[in-house]
Structure 1
Amino acid sequence: MWQMIATLFIYLLLVIPVGNYLYRIASQKKTFADPVFDYVDRWIYKLAGISPHTSMNWKSYAVNLIKTNAVMILLTYLILRIQGMAIFNPNQIEGMEPSLSFNTVISFMTNTNLQHYAGENGLSYLSQMTVIIFMMFVSAASGYAACIAFIRGLAGHSKDNMGNYYVDMVRITTRILIPFSILGGLLLVWQGVPQNFSGNLIVDTLEGSKQVIAMGPVAALEIIKHLGTNGGGFLGANSATPIENPTLISNLIELYSMMLLPGACVITFGKMVSENKSTNQINPINQTVKPSFIHRAFGKQGFSLFTAMGILFTLGLVLCFWAESQGNPVLARLGLDQAMGNMEGKELRFGIAQSALFTTTTTSFTTGTVNNMHDTLTPLGGLVPLLHMMLNVVFGGKGVGLMNMVLYAILSVFICGLMIGRTPEYLGKKIEGREMKLTALCIIIHPLLILSFTALAIGTNWGREAISNPGYHGLSQILYEFSSATANNGSGFEGLGDNTLFWNLTTGIVMFFGRYLSIIIQLAIAGSLMHKPFINQSSGSLQTTTISFAFILVMVVYIFAALTFLPVLVLGPIAEHLTLLS
């Protein structure tokens, strides 16, 4: 337990300066590294023919994001199909078949990184670098760019200018993703993660058999898969293998890498919207109250959202850790010692605490990397990552959690406004019919994709034949797969036989719509609020900068989750847990 507390405390110390740095980049303020990065950015703009001073409204921003993503999808699909060429292919990997190529490019372009293949025998080094690593950079940059544009819209500095998508994408890549990846990659190499172009090693084991040890540019992929909240892995066993994650220090590096930028986005939001006095909600009774250190660090609006996300994260972490610490009740009844807890599918070097923390983090920050096999979690332990992907607001990855949580904040002020008979207000703007319709639509898309495609898989032989563990756990396997695909997470209950035409196509469709429909609608909401005038706050206005509002947010999120997902969760992990107890 103390391991987890110490890890999270250090995270809070790290996320504040990173959040301040991201805020200065998003608001185009000066940073210490401008002399170097300004030169690099200008060279990229000139090479790509980009006019950095061109502004975009929300429609233009969304169109340019989708167009660039579409071009990259086509190019990377072609590379996967012809990867059998003798270029950076020492292991002689053949070209990938069409349906798996489709699933893979959609997966990595949408920042999902759901893998229906094992990287060590499914991809050449050429594909690992020019498809996987490349898309880990650009998909993360696209998501963070959309998040920054969304924040600009809510901050209301302009009526039509959401920024320039290409400028945002370039600045995030050159000033955050690349330098942070170089530093983190060197730290991973220091801990023993390979970074080379050698072919796989074949060694003799002590038992007298042969074993293949994977080589390749592993460290380069490892750091950006976490920093960009991408997920996936160079190897099929992901960060559970010592090649990708050899030590406790490398485990902490990967944990902090996937946690930093999503948390920094919340701080960026708080500081950008607080620049407008209309959104800073000063107590009308006492106008002279100075903001506390916490409010200055996170921004008043950011503090309430960060607190709500922190509560959701902590509750999930405690449940996962407790459930795994209890072990398997069936084995306990057979007289087997369960003092160590449920160690099935876990690495001894990490144990229960670091495995539970990694599990909760990777599905809360929608990264999808794993240091233990989620299919072997206890039913309640597996419920936590499943639920957090269904919520998709617990920090999230690439700004997704922030954007989704803002929608729940809009929903919360609407509900509270109805209860007290006032027009709902958020960030100094009135929330009216158009915003509520778009908010409801965006929130409904997520459970609609998960539940409808789960029903399709359960109702067809194509879906059911992939189940390796029939019964309640079989439903959980399918539910987890589509929850992961819709939330752009990418982790899986790996007992599912998902490399088939049915699963490649259905999860590809879910990943595509789960990503782009949400982004378009969220930008539309921000664009609608941009055009509205700020209104004066009064003593009757709902304060959205307080801890009490954070608790309101938590309750609204859980109520919505119960209304949409509780029935299917009862049929899956909850029923499995009750069966083990009986």
Structure 2
Amino acid sequence: MTTELLGILFIFAMTVALSIPLGRYMARLYAGESTFLDAVFGPIERLFFRASGIDASREMTWKDHLKALLTINLIWFLWAMFVLTNQSWLPWNPDGNPDMTPDLAFNTAISFLVNCNLQHYSGETGVSYFSQIFCLNFLQFVSAGTGMAAAVVIFKAIRDRQTTELGNFYDFFLKSCTRVLLPLSLIVAIVLVFNGTPMNLVGKAEYTSLQGDTVQVSQGPAAAMIAIKHIGTNGGGYFGANSAHPLENPNYLTMIVELLAQTVIPLGMIFAMGFYIRNRRFSRMVFGVMTVGFLLLLAPTVWSEIQGNPAIDRLGIAQTHGAMEGKEVRFGATASAYWSIITTVISTGSVNSMHDSTMPLSGAMELLSMMTNAFYGGCGAGILNFYIFIILAVFISGLMVGRTPEFMGKKVEAREMKIAMIVALVHPLMIMTGTAIASYLASADANMGWWFVNAEGQPNHATAWLNNPGFHGFSEMLYEFTSSSANNGSGFEGLGDNNPFWNISTGICLILTRFLPIIGPVAIAGLLASKKYIPESAGTLRTDTGTFGIMVFAVIVILAALSFFPALALGPLAEYFSL
């Protein structure tokens, strides 16, 4: 166990070490300064802009940014719906995978569009190679690029003292895709290919297992998808078992690489902000708050998985390797626990073990990671979410000292606070409302006709959703809506979720909880940027200090406690105390 603990400490230290130079590089990139990749990607970007007729040098207001972002996302959604509902006759479908039903296609298209990858289909059996490459892989790049571009608008609004010109969305977006996401994905994909992950266009291969059973194993362009799913904090598995599959994550080395891949950009964006706004103290404050929150979630999870199940202890059976149900022996309990918190705080959603099998306390920490939705976060989305908590902390601090709240020399007034509160409340609203409706339907076992038809078209009552009754069944439904609202995509997979109710309800949740948390922070940043700059004085609340960091952390904890602890008490915590 000591070696495994040293392993996760090494992985985290390496992540931080890599994210700092990456952050410096991204700050130079978004500021328009020269970088070492200019000669490679500069001509490609200029060709793209000439062909599309986009003027990448035109400055945009915050409204222009949002108009461009929402319009292009609508186009991508329509493309995804077309591909997924017609994949049976489109090329590169050697395994003959059928078209998706409209409700499943809706959920899948929205899910990949919003950087969540909540997969209600089973990996390699649900989509063709054409769908993987030209739909899902494409969306994994552009969804991550969208979040990063929106975060850069925040950076520019903070840095410039008074302006309505906040750069160009298409310029930020394309640079994110070509000069950050693509090069890093290529590196990860090469590592995976050399460790045995498939990268081809052939159909299933026949293998004989150690037991002598003959099995058909899918191949295809797996390495490319697995690389961007982690680099872009998307999380969707090429195979149904996600990164617990031996071809998706063959060994401990690939596990390290995939963990580094999903954390390096979110952490890098924090440091990029400090370099870009020329205030590294502020980025260190943000990093410190996020890291404290991450460690407080990680510690009980690792402890719980190392200790194992007390019910097994009472039988006198030694659990020398910890709680190993649902885990791969090649990774172990400690590394699996680390992955489970990384993937939920980062909002990646990929898994190297089954979260449905983790100990109840671990499940509570995984849920709380997504419920707070403030520690590191996804590509760009982490900065956007944390920005809302900063505005709330500034406002509360101003009330406490009887002074008009200010952030970076700009007065925070009623309009900004209303937007911030709407964004802060939509997350718990969608989780609690969705879980309440699902719980009612499951308890009443109501016959709702087409809502309860399964993937095979057979009647499927609400109780058939749950493989586990009681506390754990409630946790499964709570996890599904929490994962959707946090744009995470992982799940307690004891839940039968491929039916119209879950596909449509979580799809609506995905739309609202992706775009409102982008619209809100960008609007607030734009409004503040247009205001007159107020020089610092003796009464100015500095937002780059440890004291302010404690205030932000307190706001996050209080909001999470008030919003989610009652639900956690009904699910994973009740299960924990019943062991």
Moved more, 519-528 or 145-154: 145-154
> What is the distance in 2 between the residues matched to 1:65 and 1:206?
51
> What is the distance in 1 between the residues matched to 2:13 and 2:268?
15
> What is the distance in 2 between the residues matched to 1:465 and 1:92?
28
Please say if 1:331 is aligned against 2:312: yes
Contact between 2:376 and 2:383, CA under 8 Å: does it hold in 1? yes
SS of structure 2 residue aligned to 1:459:
helix
Tell me which residue corresponds to 1:577: 576
SS of structure 2 residue aligned to 1:203:
strand
Contact between 2:26 and 2:269, CA under 8 Å: does it hold in 1? yes
Q: 1:183 to 1:430 in 2, by over 3 A?
A: same
Residues 195-234 of structure 1 aligned to structure 2 (within 5 Å): 195-234=199-238
Where does structure 2 lack aligned partners over 5 or more consecutive residues? 446-451, 453-461
Tell me which residue corresponds to 1:292: none
Amino acid at match of 1:374: H
| Per-residue deviation, residues 255-286 of structure 1 (Å, max 9, x unmatched) | 11110111111112222223xxxxx5xxxxxx
> What is the distance in 2 between the residues matched to 1:559 and 1:157?
32
Contact between 1:86 and 1:92, CA under 8 Å: does it hold in 2? no
Where does structure 1 lack aligned partners over 5 or more consecutive residues? 275-279, 281-298
Residues 499-514 of structure 1 aligned to structure 2 (within 5 Å): 499-514=498-513
Tell me which residue corresponds to 1:551: 550
| Per-residue deviation, residues 104-153 of structure 1 (Å, max 9, x unmatched) | 00000011100001121111111111111011011111111111112212
Moved more, 156-165 or 320-329: 156-165
Tell me which residue corresponds to 1:447: 428
Please say if 1:59 is aligned against 2:63: yes
| CA RMSD in angstroms, aligned pairs only | 1.3
Tell me which residue corresponds to 2:33: 29
Q: 1:208 to 1:192 in 2, by over 3 A?
A: closer
> What is the distance in 2 between the residues matched to 1:339 and 1:422?
57
> What is the distance in 1 between the residues matched to 2:90 and 2:506?
31
Residues 415-426 of structure 1 aligned to structure 2 (within 5 Å): 415-426=396-407
| Per-residue deviation, residues 508-563 of structure 1 (Å, max 9, x unmatched) | 00001110111111111011101112212223322221223222222211111001
SS of structure 1 residue aligned to 2:13:
helix
- Picking from 4, 8, 26, the partner of 2:8 is 4
> What is the distance in 2 between the residues matched to 1:566 and 1:409?
22
The structural deviation recorded for 1:158 is 5.1
Amino acid at match of 2:109: V
SS of structure 2 residue aligned to 1:494:
coil
Amino acid at match of 2:32: Q
> What is the distance in 2 between the residues matched to 1:479 and 1:240?
23
SS of structure 1 residue aligned to 2:167:
coil
Residues 512-523 of structure 1 aligned to structure 2 (within 5 Å): 512-523=511-522
Superposition misfits of 4+ residues, deviation over 4 angstroms:
none
Moved more, 305-314 or 1-10: 1-10
Contact between 1:200 and 1:213, CA under 8 Å: does it hold in 2? yes
Tell me which residue corresponds to 2:565: 566
SS of structure 1 residue aligned to 2:522:
helix
> What is the distance in 1 between the residues matched to 2:251 and 2:133?
24
Tell me which residue corresponds to 1:496: 495
> What is the distance in 2 between the residues matched to 1:152 and 1:464?
50
Tell me which residue corresponds to 1:244: 248
> What is the distance in 2 between the residues matched to 1:66 and 1:414?
29
> What is the distance in 2 between the residues matched to 1:45 and 1:496?
45
Amino acid at match of 1:209: D
Identity %: 42
> What is the distance in 1 between the residues matched to 2:145 and 2:18?
21
Residues 516-535 of structure 1 aligned to structure 2 (within 5 Å): 516-535=515-534
SS of structure 1 residue aligned to 2:465:
coil
| Per-residue deviation, residues 166-211 of structure 1 (Å, max 9, x unmatched) | 1111111111111111121111111211111111112233433221
| Per-residue deviation, residues 334-354 of structure 1 (Å, max 9, x unmatched) | 222123211111111111221
> What is the distance in 1 between the residues matched to 2:82 and 2:15?
40
- Picking from 182, 193, 208, the partner of 1:189 is 193
The structural deviation recorded for 1:157 is 5.1
The structural deviation recorded for 1:41 is 0.8
- Picking from 330, 338, 341, the partner of 1:360 is 341
Tell me which residue corresponds to 1:49: 53
The structural deviation recorded for 1:410 is 1.6
> What is the distance in 1 between the residues matched to 2:216 and 2:145?
35
- Picking from 404, 413, 419, the partner of 2:385 is 404
Tell me which residue corresponds to 1:480: 479
> What is the distance in 1 between the residues matched to 2:427 and 2:249?
32
Contact between 1:199 and 1:216, CA under 8 Å: does it hold in 2? yes
| Per-residue deviation, residues 218-276 of structure 1 (Å, max 9, x unmatched) | 100000000000011111100001100001111111111110111111112222223xx
> What is the distance in 2 between the residues matched to 1:206 and 1:34?
51
Residues 158-197 of structure 1 aligned to structure 2 (within 5 Å): 159-197=163-201
- Picking from 315, 318, 328, the partner of 1:347 is 328
> What is the distance in 1 between the residues matched to 2:219 and 2:489?
23
| Per-residue deviation, residues 459-496 of structure 1 (Å, max 9, x unmatched) | 11455531111101111101110011011110000110
- Picking from 376, 379, 402, the partner of 2:357 is 376
Please say if 1:429 is aligned against 2:433: no
The structural deviation recorded for 1:156 is 2.7
The structural deviation recorded for 1:154 is 2.4
| Per-residue deviation, residues 75-94 of structure 1 (Å, max 9, x unmatched) | 11111111112611111111
